[in-house]
Homo-oligomer: A and B are copies of this chain.
Amino acid sequence: MSLLILGSVALDTVKTPIEEHTDQLGGSASYAAVAASFFSPVNLVGIVGDDFPEEHLAFFKSRNVDLEGLQIVPGKTFRWSGEYMWDMNQRETRSVELNVFENFTPDLPESYRSARLVLLGNIAPALQHHVLDQLIRPHFVIADTMDLWINIAKEELLRLIARVDMLILNDSEARELTGETSLIRAGRLIREMGPSFVAIKKGEHGCLLFGENQFFSCPAYPLEDIHDPTGAGDCFAGGLAGYLASRHLSDVSLTEKKEIPFDIMRMAVVEGSVIASFNVESFSMDRLRTVTPAENVERFETFRTLSRFGAL
């Protein structure tokens, strides 16, 4: 089953205390699609200008990312520029040029409308709604979001949350959205807003997954050197969605009913964390270009070891 991924496709300029890279491949859909491609074919929905480098299109295609849903229009591609502080935890946006993104209306190709598994990547909730409206009978819809939309489009975001099966957000966003300081209470409250599953990302502290009366605490991979945190959350969402899509391909029972077993969601969260942990090791998605299947398996096994105990 193909996975539909909506989001931004951008050219990013990223500065860290160590180095700066200009106009590199970025955007929530780009990161998520490449991460998902480790597990599943992807149908990408986004927009770029006619300045978008051909090599990036070729890279997507080489990763089995279908680009029929990627609009290429006259004008400049969306550009984002940000700077990380010395501890790599805090980020400041230096500039945003919407460019062609300003008039983006994501109209789905006919063949995309029957998508069963959908990742509405981090983008304005109105666009997430617009895509959702065009889907015939989606089986499982995941939405990612960010603090910006809580601040400027909360009503549309709440309406979206009520329509999706899973929401992904980070710890400060979960607190902001619910007004709760306890992440445990926040996660449960967000489930009551609609989604069957909620994943709260905690950066260096890993991730919490909430299901119906079930809970999973995924550890963070113990990275000593983070080169570029950009896109880590998108890779997490993409890897997670890609894993679910691959399970759908192989497990007929999953395609028949709405419910995804919690044990499969645990695995999806770990697989997303594995891909995200690779991604921060280099700028843009350079590390994802070189990850071998053996490295992927090895890191998955390391995740297992990280939190294992009791087999004495």
How far is the CB of A60 from the nearest CB of chain B, in Å? 30
Number of interface residues of A (CB under 8 A): 39
Q: A183 and B206: CB pair below 8 A? A: no
A213 to B202, CA, bound (A): 24
Q: A87 and B181: CB pair below 8 A? A: yes
A282 within 8 A of B: no
A292 within 8 A of B: no
Chain B CB within 10 A, most for which of A205, A217, A309: A309
A62 within 8 A of B: no
B-side contacts of A306, CB under 8 Å: 215-217
How far is the CB of A268 from the nearest CB of chain B, in Å? 10
Chain B CB within 10 A, most for which of A88, A184, A208, A222: A222
- Counted per complex, copies of this chain come to 2
Q: B312 and A267: CB pair below 8 A? A: yes
A103 within 8 A of B: no
How far is the CB of A192 from the nearest CB of chain B, in Å? 13
Chain B CB within 10 A, most for which of A89, A263, A264: A263
A152 within 8 A of B: no
Q: A224 and B185: CB pair below 8 A? A: yes
B-side contacts of A309, CB under 8 Å: 216, 218, 263, 266-267, 269-270, 304
User: Which residue of the partner chain, among B184, B263, B304, contacts A224 with CB atoms under 8 Å?
Assistant: B184
A257 within 8 A of B: no
B-side contacts of A205, CB under 8 Å: 202, 205-206
